[in-house]
Structure 1
Amino acid sequence: MIEAGLADVRGGTGGRAVSMLLYRLGGAIARHRGAFVGGWLLVLALVAGGATALGSDYDNEFTVPGTPSQEGKDLLDERFDITGTDGQVLFTVATGRIAQAPAAPVVNRISSRIDDVPGVTFTSPLAKNFRVVSSDGRAALGQLRFAAEKPSQATLDAVVDAASPPAGAGITTDVGGDAYDPDVETSRIPELLGLLVSLVILSITFGSLLAAGMPIVGSLLGVLTTISVIVLASSVTSVSSSASTLAEMLGLAVGIDYALFLLSRYRGHLAEGLPTTEAMRRSLATAGIAVMFAGATVVIALLGLAVARIPVLTAMGVAAAIAVAFAVSIALTLLPAVALLLGERLRPRRKARAGGAASAVVARRWVGIATRVPAVTIVVVLLAAVVAARPAADLDLALPDNSTAPESSNARQTYDAITAAFGEGYNAPLTVTGDVITSDDPKKTVNELAAAVAGVSGVVAVTQATPNADGDTALIQAIPEAGQTAPSTEALVQRLRDDSPGWEQTYGVHDILVTGQTAINIDVSARLGGAMLPFACIVIGLSLILLMLVFRSIAVPIKATAGYLISVGVAFGVVVVAFQWGWLSGLTGEEAGPVVSFLPIFLMGVLFGLAMDYEMFLVSSMREDYARTGDPRGAVVRGFCSSARVVTAAALIMTSVFVAFVPGGTSTIKPIAFGLAVGVLVDAFVVRMTLVPAVMVLLRHAAWWLPAWLERRLPDVDVEGAVLHRKVELDAWQDEHGQVAVLARGLVVTDGAAPVEITARPGEVVRLPLAAEADDRALAMVLTGRAGARAGSLAVAEQLLPEQREEVSRRAAALDLAATGHAAASDGTDRTASDVVRDRSRLAALTRRGRRAFTERSGQVAARLGSVAPGVDPTVVAQAACAVASGSHVLVLYGRPPAARDAGAELAFAAALANEGVTVVVLDRVGAERPADEGVRTSVRAGEEVR
């Protein structure tokens, strides 16, 4: 017998249940497993081949559309023809002065050689209009300008060769700057070690090396496909190299985890003795929904990075979202196909089952400790989280520059040498530009403006002041006291912008802008910092809505979101301690300094999705148990024990993958990978596996409360696959009691109405007596999927309502016995059912041939029905004939008023319909006596069938 809760047949989504769609997908994969594997291999071959042919064209430039710095840069590009990127050459003498003989002629010759390199413009440090010599006279700094945004390695090497001083000249040179930003060659060994650790964890979890290798191979395939797509995209749009690395890191982590979740459920069903195909169908309909939901949350959060309105960050989010999408797709299609190809080899052995029992014992002890005194657990966790998250209040954001480059690189060595000779500010020049087109003497106006800039507190020097060739735009280069990431430099940029309106009035200059790479980087950091709050609101709001849909609860979403904030706060705090304060410099290989600007927003987005993964797999098991038993504490314990093993393995795997990207990584990747590793560990073991059980036990029944009015309005996404469980129960009931066409238990259609019980076999007629005041039309609409009931359970044509309402509405039809058509045709003769069929077929959305066939089939059925029940209105006969011809399995007859009843004619009509292979349910509002024997089975009340 199928028993269902009140929510089973209420309103609902009106569409197909996701669980049943995935259930059918499992069947399709089973039938075409080879095609699914071949299709994925073909996709990989196409994108990888295209990526290999085109090659990568990454662009690491940070732009901030709509900011003053970006507007200034665009103006300089237009008015001064300043494109490409910058570099610097530092000349140093051990003795004497760089601007005097014998050093000066050598500097001039080297400057000429550098300027002769194709695609390079070099301004000598000893030029009259640009003389940059250190205070002790021993060093001079020249400026490189490359025509290309990303100069070729051959051009960069040619500049280094041209800058090499002749032997015995007594001069040393250092070449660096933005153009020489090093592309760090990261070692793949840590990543391989991370995958090896994942393989070990999976082997322990599954007890099978074959099963353990499947998530690894699947994630690698997904990452390879993703990287190939990103490489192709880099040929047509701006994509940074960091986007590729982040996509790889995230793709590996979630790819392994999603495959683990699905494969674990599949092997669990195999251990129960299910056939491989049925085990996979059920796994997709349960764990597959969780994978879809988890992946969707990560993708939405990553795409939400576009809120910062920074193209580079948006591209990073899109690239990572593509990686997650491929991971989900592979977990739902390729992995099942491969698993089904392997057949019985994935069925767990007794030894693996014993390992699962041992892990269940550990899980029970863990949850027992966490929930013994739940209030104490909550207080301890919250206090520890506050202490760990406290450093996050000191979070300082900036974009990396050459000060964070490896000490062995030319860029870092030049940076340090310039800092020693001139001061750190010379590595971070600011450019002030303005429109001087109205000036009678552009040169004088530019000099006056330069003098005003030099007088601003924090400006140590003005190294260049010149109008362009057309005399309409000023260019002034100012040197700050400190480097790009220093707070004093950010403050100086703001002071220059604050003073600009006054200068415009004083000197007649228009649209003064502060720009240059330093100002652009500062604006990027400022915009990212400003985007954190709206992004956090989006993520938190999304979390509350999605979890409310999933768990049908108020407390669970609030608790889950609060736990996510704890994980994010601790991750930020640990990153500040490790990278900004430099407490773990020996392990990270990074010097103390500001954290990369886009770490917070990226970390928040990724951790949101990962936190929801663990919340889903733990709490959904608790909710399922609670719905079955009504025991709040027991549901927490049993749900935890059933999910803890897979969540533990998933968290350890994801942590090992993230940690593998820390050693030898770039200054951009290291803190992100480190923060994600810490966040995953904290979220899985501290929040989800410790804090969550304690909170759930403390709340007891209140944890699952949802206002009735809200429950009716929220769509049922069936994330846990509840409709599949009902489908399995229906199949089991039919195996025991025989096939049914309509099965209703405790069905309440309207408030106050008596529950309805129906058991109708295929091809039989069932008469259901109703009270005279009963709403038979409302019941007919419910039975045919046109409306929802108040309570009870209902299956029609082997489809469950309300989740499969669309399918039921195609397989079932309601006929109003009181319906009437026109009394006569246009020629004055009586209209027949065939006449009505022809009229109705003209309105059908069919081809001409299809309409002709439909009309023919409907007419034949109408003729047979009309000959048996001549007293039934032709319109009703025509409707019934059209329903039968359309393939309806169930017909519900209603609507004959008591005064006009002809029970014999109705039963004859129903019998004729049954003879057409249709199950007929007659809703009788007059109470009913035993009908005459018409050769079909009838029922006068639920469970009492008569002939």
Structure 2
Amino acid sequence: MLPCSIPTIHDPGVDRNRSSASHWILSRGTPAGTATGVCAMARQEARDVTVMERWARFVHRRKWLVLAAWLVILVAGAAAARAFGGEFQTEFRLPGSESQRANDLLKERFPAQAGGEAEIVFEVPTGIDGARPQIEEVLARIQAEIPDVAAIESPFERPGYISPDGTIARAVVRFTFDADKVPHETAMQLIRLTEEAARPGFTVEPGGRVIQFNEQAEFGSEIYGLIAAVFILLIAFGSVVAMGVPIGAALFGLGTGLALITIAARWVGFPSFSSQFAAMIGIGVGIDYSLLVVTRFREAIHAGKRVEDAVVEAVTTSGRSVMFAGVVVAIAFLGLFVMGLPFVATLATAGAVVVLVAVAIALSLTPALLAVFGRRVDSLRVPFFHQSEGVDPRSPWYRLSRAIQARPWPFALLAGGLLVVLALPLLDMQLGFTDAGNRSPSSHSRKAYDLIAKGFGPGTNGPLLIVADTRNGNGGLERAVELLRATPGVANVTQPLLNPQGDTAVITVIPTTKPQDHATTELVHRLRNDVLQRAGTNGDRFYVTGVTAGQIDASDRISQRMPYLFIGVIGLSFILLTAMFRSVVVALKAAIMNLLSIGAAYGVVVAVFQWGWGGELIGVGTGPVEVFLPMMMFAILFGLSMDYEVFLISRIREEYLKTGDTGLAVANGLTATARVITAAAAIMVTVFLAFVLGPERVIKEFGIGLATAILVDATIVRILLVPSTMELLGRWNWWMPRWLDRILPNLHVEGPPASEGEPAGAAGSRPLTAGAGQTG
């Protein structure tokens, strides 16, 4: 006989007269040793749940105190953010790179050349010389009316600033701040001034990085995501109250998280778009986490449990899943620190903050709200949509799972094949930085970009700055200019411009190719590794910088560090999942499936934005994939996809601890979680697709990529691939080497396998049925 018994199983595939653990398990062909392990795991689960159960009972009995505490935290946080919060300002620094060393040298010795630039492009079909008074008037107004202008380079004072045909001219406006720090109102004032100056036959277009940064239209897709979430939750729960709990909890968590980030911005340089990024992530995970807790609470209520016991069950089961899922997401975000890009690291910190706050909300505020509403959680029902929770063998999800398990090979091959086909375009991915040439044709920066390319050649939109440290003499400057002009791929080289002290010089190099061209990247490397090395024989040191060179340095840094990100995030997640589920196979399979989902998302992004498939439908043309997109998408998607993995597998393992039958556990687990995972994924997909409605190409890339990955993960992976592969692996799903089992800590997420914290099958435990409303 086995050391414990397992409750009676009511399943269409099981003889109802067989209720003893040994008879049932052996009838399924499960070795007795495996059954003994199930009993041991079940007892361990019951012991480990004590802390979470105590917390849940405290939240229930002190619900008003918990609600008041969160209200105080939110109000105090908002007040502190308003009084002491810092500003969000994007600062693109790349420590250790050549372009960054050059920029630092300019700021120290040649500040007039270190600030952000805006270009004012004039087109006069009858000739620029005839419009000189009007052009000089525009430049004089800019100097007099626009604040923070350090200098203006007039086309009539700088050679090469008037096109060869004499119809297009460019002026450069240099600011005292970096381009990303020029105040928004200053940039908008410059745009308005140029719009007032333009007239038929006299075109004036502002461009450059200052305009690009500030012309980006803000698009509040959060509201669209919230509206979609309301309707999806109404359909999923069929109750206004049940819908309102996760929505309210998510907003509460988002407000708290944003307050913390704003306060931290006083000391940490968060990018300017941190609040929008945090809002998207915070709304998504906040609703998801609370949604899972509410679902489990309703399941317990529908099974006839007392409100307090229902709160305990929700926290000790779904709450544990939320806790560990949130840790995995935070790990994925913080893994971005290895990239060595400060603005990426701070953005990752913002994401991790809102995720951890969402976890805290789901484990405290959400159960407190459920304790307040109690059985009224189903109040204000929506006709035709009210549904109960739990495992129901009549459910289409249950029948689908059984159908997949009956033919696992065809479904596994079909799902895997679909993922591979979607990921195939990834092999042709071309990374680069989008610029004004990829923006909307109606934007000022795009019009200025096109005029410059038309009048001066494509390379003029990506000039390279050669910064020379001439403290040991400037005898090498002329030699550098000669070598640069003789270099293939160089269209034009200006004479050196010295600072007042004479110890620093700037040479502008215009490539023959546009900034995104691979030939431009090769030119930058050739200048650094060959041409300028030969020019520095007299002790002069030369550095290549400029926007294009900085982007190339960032691209090189990302390419070098990406393997560390992948290894770090996947490795830590693998260890954590192994410790959670006591299975090497489950953790390895989760990592592989998440990579397949992310690969499919990458493939769709390449097909749409690089190949142009369907691009006209969303208003984008062909171009490279943003170089930082794969990095950011990997961190976000690996974490969010792991959420669904933890939710599903934790319920499957919980069912396995009750039954000892992997097949039945998969069917029950999928049935119990499919609807909540589908609802959560639908909310995420809608939120991310709202990005596509915005005007910015890179935002559209994020929207398509994130929505694709979540959709694929919630359908092909969780519904088709997981049941089929788990059926094929059978008892090997739970394989764990003994030496590894001894090393890793026990991080159980399923909670007690039977009511009142007793091990499954303990004396006096109630029979388990697969009917609607039954819970663990």
Work out the percentage of aligned pairs sharing the same amino acid. Answer: 36
1:488 to 515, 519, 538: 519
Question: 1:699 aligns to what?
Answer: 729
Question: Per-residue displacement from partner, 1:573-594 (whole Å, max 9, x unpaired)?
Answer: 0111122222232333332222
Deviation at 1:437, TM superposition (A): 2.3
2:468 paired residue among 410, 413, 434: 434
1:122 is displaced (CA, Å) by 3.6
**How big is each residue's C-alpha offset from its partner over 1:109-160, in whole Å with a ceiling of 9 and x where there is no partner?**
5434434454213443445554422121222221111012322345335545
Q: 2:491 matched to 1:454?
A: no
Distance 1:352 1:161 in 2: 55
Change (3 A) 1:2 1:695: closer
Residue 325 of structure 1: aligned partner:
356
Contact kept in structure 1, 2:295 and 2:389, CA below 8 Å: no
Instruction: Determine the structure 2 residue equivalent to 1:835.
Output: none
Give the alignment partner of residue 611 of structure 1, picking from 634, 637, 641.
Answer: 641
Indicate whether 1:573 and 2:603 are aligned.
yes
Deviation at 1:383, TM superposition (A): 2.0
Residue 128 of structure 2 corresponds to residue 94 of structure 1: no
Match of 2:260 in 1: 229
* Paired position in structure 1 for 2:592: 562
Deviations 1:476-530 (A, max 9, x none): 1111223332222212111111224532444x14331111122112211221222
Q: 1:638 to 1:512 in 2, by over 3 A?
A: same
Given that 1:165 and 1:173 are in contact with CA atoms closer than 8 Å, whether structure 2 keeps it comes out as: no
Aligned to 2:25: none
Give 1:7-86 correspondences, 5 Å limit. Answer: 19-53=49-83, 57-81=87-111, 82-86=113-117
Q: Partner residue of 1:659?
A: 689
Answer whether contact 1:375 1:694 (CA < 8 A) is retained.
yes
Q: CA deviation at 1:634?
A: 2.6
Alpha-carbon distance in structure 2 between the residues aligned to 1:616 and 1:174: 53
Matched, 1:410 2:441: no
Given that 2:693 and 2:700 are in contact with CA atoms closer than 8 Å, whether structure 1 keeps it comes out as: yes
CA drift at 1:2: 6.7
- Equivalent residue letter for 1:429: P
Is 2:132 the partner of 1:104?
Answer: yes
CA deviation vs aligned residue, 1:660-712 (integer Å, no higher than 9, x gap): 23211533332123211111111121112111111111111222222233323
Bigger Cα displacement from structure 2, 274-283 vs 409-418: 409-418
- Pairing 1:362–2:393 present: no
Give the letter for the 1:104 counterpart: R
Whole-angstrom CA distance in 2 between matches of 1:613 and 1:681: 14
Is the 8 Å Cα contact of residues 480 and 532 (structure 2) preserved in structure 1? no
Deviation at 1:179, TM superposition (A): 0.9
CA distance in 2, matches of 1:568, 1:585: 20
Q: Are positions 1:303 and 2:334 aligned together? A: yes
Query: Conserved in 2, the CA contact under 8 Å of 1:89 and 1:143?
Result: yes
How far apart, in 2, do the equivalents of 1:18 and 1:69 lie? 54
Contact 1:242 1:669 in 2 (8 A): no
Render the CA deviation track for 1:779-837: whole Å, top value 9, x for unaligned: xxxxxxxxxxxxxxxxxxxxxxxxxxxxxxxxxxxxxxxxxxxxxxxxxxxxxxxxxxx
Is the 2:658–2:753 Cα contact (8 Å) retained in structure 1? Answer: no
Report which of the two structures shows the higher radius of gyration computed on alpha carbons.
Answer: 1
The alpha-carbon deviation at position 658 of structure 1 amounts to: 1.7
Q: Which residue of 1 aligns with 2:14?
A: none
CA distance in 1, matches of 2:761, 2:39: 18
Q: Which has the higher contact order (CA 8 A, sep 6+)?
A: 2
What SS does the aligned partner of 2:96 have?
coil
Measure how far apart 1:308 and its partner are. Answer: 0.3
SS of 2:163's partner is: coil
Corresponding position of 1:768: none
Closer, same or farther in 2 for the Cα pair 1:124/1:651, shift >3 Å?
closer
CA drift at 1:360: 5.2
Secondary structure of the 1:668 match is helix
User: Please, which runs of 5 or more residues in structure 1 have no aligned partner?
Assistant: 737-947
Among 402, 411, 421, which residue is 1:377 paired with?
411
Give the aligned partner of residue 811 of structure 1. none
The answer to whether the Cα contact below 8 Å between 2:117 and 2:175 also exists between their aligned partners in 1 is: yes
What residue identity is the alignment partner of 1:497?
R
Distance, in Å, in 1 between the alignment partners of 2:681 and 2:703 is 14
Q: Distance in 1 between matches of 2:366 and 2:691?
A: 26
Counterpart in the other structure of 2:769: none
- What is the alpha-carbon distance in structure 2 between the residues aligned to residue 482 and residue 410 of structure 1? 22
- Aligned-partner residue type, residue 677 of structure 1: A
- Alignment gaps of 5+ in structure 2: 7-34, 767-776
Cα distance change on mapping 1:274 and 1:216 into 2, 3 Å: same
Partner residue, 1:143: 172
Kindly indicate whether the alpha-carbon contact (under 8 Å) linking 1:114 and 1:122 is maintained by their aligned counterparts in 2: no
Pair 1:118–1:564, CA change in 2 (3 A): closer
Q: Residues 820-859 of structure 1: matches in 2 within 5 Å?
A: none
Per-residue deviation, 1:421: 1.7
Partner Cα distance (1:402, 1:17) in 2: 60
Structure with more of its chain in helix, by fraction: 2
* 1:692 aligned partner, one-letter code: V
Structure 2 match to 1:642: 672
Once the two structures are TM-superposed, the CA of residue 330 in structure 1 deviates from its matched residue by 0.8
Contact kept in structure 2, 1:567 and 1:683, CA below 8 Å: yes
1:900-919 residue pairs with structure 2 within 5 A?
none
Secondary structure of the residue aligned to 1:460 is strand
Match of 1:152 in 2: 183
Q: What secondary structure is seen at the aligned counterpart in 1 of 2:496? A: strand
2:654 corresponds to: 624
Shift of 1:391: 0.8
Structure with more strand by fraction: 1
2:347 matched to 1:316?
yes
Instruction: Tell me if the contact between 1:54 and 1:235 (Cα under 8 Å) persists in the aligned partners.
Output: yes
Letter in 1 for 2:343: V
Distance 1:122 1:175, change over 3 A: farther
Q: 2:584, 2:735 within 8 Å by CA — same for their partners in 1?
A: yes
Give the equivalent residue in structure 2 for 1:673. Answer: 703
Q: Which moved more, 1:236-245 or 1:7-16?
A: 7-16
Greater CA drift, 651-660 or 291-300: 651-660
How far, CA to CA, are the matches of 1:639 and 1:489 in structure 2? 54
Distance 2:47 2:273 in 1: 39
Structure 2 vs 1, CA of residues 103 and 640 (structure 1 numbering), >3 Å: closer, same or farther? closer
1:166-181 map, 5 Å? 171-181=202-212
CA offsets per residue over residues 729-767 of structure 1, 9 Å max, x none?
Answer: 59985999xxxxxxxxxxxxxxxxxxxxxxxxxxxxxxx
**Separation in 2 of the partners of 1:652 and 1:678?**
11
Amino acid at match of 1:103: A
Matched, 1:590 2:620: yes
| Cα shift at 1:229 | 2.7
Deviation at 1:552, TM superposition (A): 1.6
Contact 1:430 1:478 in 2 (8 A): yes
Distance in 1 between the 2:652 and 2:615 partners?
42
Tell me the amino acid that sits aligned with residue 237 of structure 1. Answer: V
In structure 1, distance between residues paired with 2:710 and 2:765:
45
Partner of 2:545: 515
Query: What is the match of residue 249 of structure 2?
Result: 218
Contact 1:88 1:144 in 2 (8 A): yes
Number of matched pairs: 728
Output one character per residue of 1:417-469: Cα deviation in whole Å (capped at 9) or x when no partner.
Answer: 21222222212111011222222xx3x64233123212222111124522222
Check the 8 A contact 2:390/2:672 in 1, yes or no.
no
CA contact (8 A) 2:598 2:634 kept: yes
| TM-fit CA distance, 1:628 | 3.1
Give the letter aligned to residue 86 of structure 1. E
